[in-house]
Amino acid sequence: MTRTGTSTVEAVYEEVVRRNPAEREFHQAVREVLDSLGPVLERHPEHAELKTVQRLCEPERQVVFRVVWQDDRGEVQVNRGFRVEFNSALGPYKGGLRFHPSVYLGIVKFLGFEQVFKNALTGMPIGGGKGGSDFDPKGRSEAEVMRFCQAFMTELYRHLGEHTDVPAGDTGVGAREIGYLFGQYKRITNRYESGVLTGKGVSWGGARVRTEATGYGAAFFASEMLAARGTSLEGRRVVVSGSGNVALYAVQKATQLGATVVACSDSGGYVVDESGLDLEVLQRVKEVERGRLTDYAERVRSARHVVGGSVWDVPCEVAIPSATQNELDEAAAARLVRNGCVAVSEGANMPSTPGALEVFRAAGTAFGPGKAANAGGVATSALEMQQNASRDSWTFEHTEARLEQIMKDVHARCAEAAEEYGSPGDLVVGANVAGFLRVADAMRAHGLV
């Protein structure tokens, strides 16, 4: 039987669903990539022969482990830890750790799979991996978070190394957690191995701009998409969902680029401020006090807090979804389009559902998929590794200039691949194809491993 690209990807998808039952988010992430690869396999039949796509869908290694710790009352807690080492064709496994009660293998695999393509798109020498735990940091004391991180690293350390696997943060894991994880790694291994984790504090091996990088990158990417259409962020009405690390710095950079960010959200609802969000207050409430948006609304007179509902009801020209996967569905996408939204830059990983994607495609909305638009975080992690390897520390300005150039390059790679493979302007196809080709080429060079 001669296999066309399309029949190959269909067979691969069926096999992925069969071997990874009930991992809905992983299926979704694979489906989206496979839908872009038909024309690539037609043009590169060697990858069908080498089963490159099948190999890409099977993680190189999956570690699942028990994490036992004691809470402040002395009660024993049992959590589950994960590290999925997806692909090391381009460099050591690289990707964040997520601590959230929703974490299970299907979430970690979807994130790890996306990470492989994202990291390839940055042009940096990093493979893809992801990890985390179903631990819920919400309401936990400092001491509990520290004990959990220590227990987690007591197993994970044996799988890590600056040339092997280099985790960083994701939802629920920020500078505080990276500090505790690094401390425990150092204690167990007796090595000051700076390059084993990224997102470290600047005073002990961290890179300037890493904290800001994902959000800044998503704003730069929005600006790049608009520039390709002959316009800019200047004077635009922007809505950012979420109010975590990605959202905060997307708000900041979009504002610096001349936009007015009128709304952001958390799990309790959203705030609207027609005069533009006050970043200083937002940072104090979310980063220092670890508080809620209701606290923000109490302090900022011009802000209005809406309980529940959807932040996508707020009319805007540019949307930067920066909360979590599948937060923006078909109905929300239709509302955004109706309200005049012309560009969507995904700060989170896979925040738009497949239905939403179709709506944006049909409407001709400029759409930057997470694996391209939020690549600034991991790219700056690679810059952190570079500084660690040379025992150097760069200035904020230099690092930010590097980040901006990387985001321009990511956009150009996606746009070129989309054009070359018959879907001009479709950055979803472009990101998948360009990411695939870079990883696939290295995999071919390394032989059947």
Q: Given phi > 0 = left and psi -120 to 50 = alpha, else beta, which region is 97?
A: beta
Contact 217, 377 (CB under 8 A): yes
Using CB under 6 A, list all residues that contact ligand GLU.
94-96, 168, 170, 198, 349, 377-378, 381
Q: How far is the CB of 185 from ligand GLU (least distance, A)?
A: 15
Contact 180, 371 (CB under 8 A): no
Give the C-alpha separation, 293 to 359, whole Å.
Answer: 30
Q: How far is the CB of 381 from ligand GLU (least distance, A)?
A: 3
Q: Is 408 a catalytic residue?
A: no
Give the nearer residue to ligand GLU in terms of CB position, either 53 or 382: 382
**Closest residue to ligand GLU using C-beta atoms:** 96
Give the nearer residue to ligand GLU in terms of CB position, either 196 or 262: 196
Give the nearer residue to ligand GLU in terms of CB position, either 303 or 378: 378
Give the nearer residue to ligand GLU in terms of CB position, either 53 or 378: 378
Give the C-alpha separation, 384 to 61, whole Å.
Answer: 25
Contact 63, 159 (CB under 8 A): yes
Q: How far is the CB of 289 from ligand GLU (least distance, A)?
A: 24
Q: How far is the CB of 207 from ligand GLU (least distance, A)?
A: 10
Contact 285, 293 (CB under 8 A): yes
Continuous segment of H or E residues that includes residue 98: strand 93-99
Q: How far is the CB of 97 from ligand GLU (least distance, A)?
A: 8
The residue annotated as part of the active site, out of 109, 118, 130, 200, is 130
Q: DSSP class of residue 161?
A: B
Contact 153, 184 (CB under 8 A): yes
Q: From the centroid of its chain, how far is CA 277?
A: 23
Contact 237, 262 (CB under 8 A): yes
Give the C-alpha separation, 200 to 48, whole Å.
Answer: 41
Q: Give the total residue count for the chain.
A: 449
> 99 by DSSP, 3-state: which?
strand
Give the nearer residue to ligand GLU in terms of CB position, either 16 or 378: 378
> 352 by DSSP, 3-state: which?
strand
Give the nearer residue to ligand GLU in terms of CB position, either 95 or 106: 95
Give the nearer residue to ligand GLU in terms of CB position, either 67 or 213: 213
| 253, HSE (Cβ side, Cα atoms, 13 Å) | 26
Contact 8, 53 (CB under 8 A): yes
DSSP β-bridge partners for residue 102: none
Q: How far is the CB of 26 from ligand GLU (least distance, A)?
A: 15
Joined tokens for residue 163:
């040339």
| 219, HSE (Cβ side, Cα atoms, 13 Å) | 30
Give the C-alpha separation, 293 to 139, whole Å.
Answer: 16
Q: How far is the CB of 94 from ligand GLU (least distance, A)?
A: 5
Active site residue ranges: 130
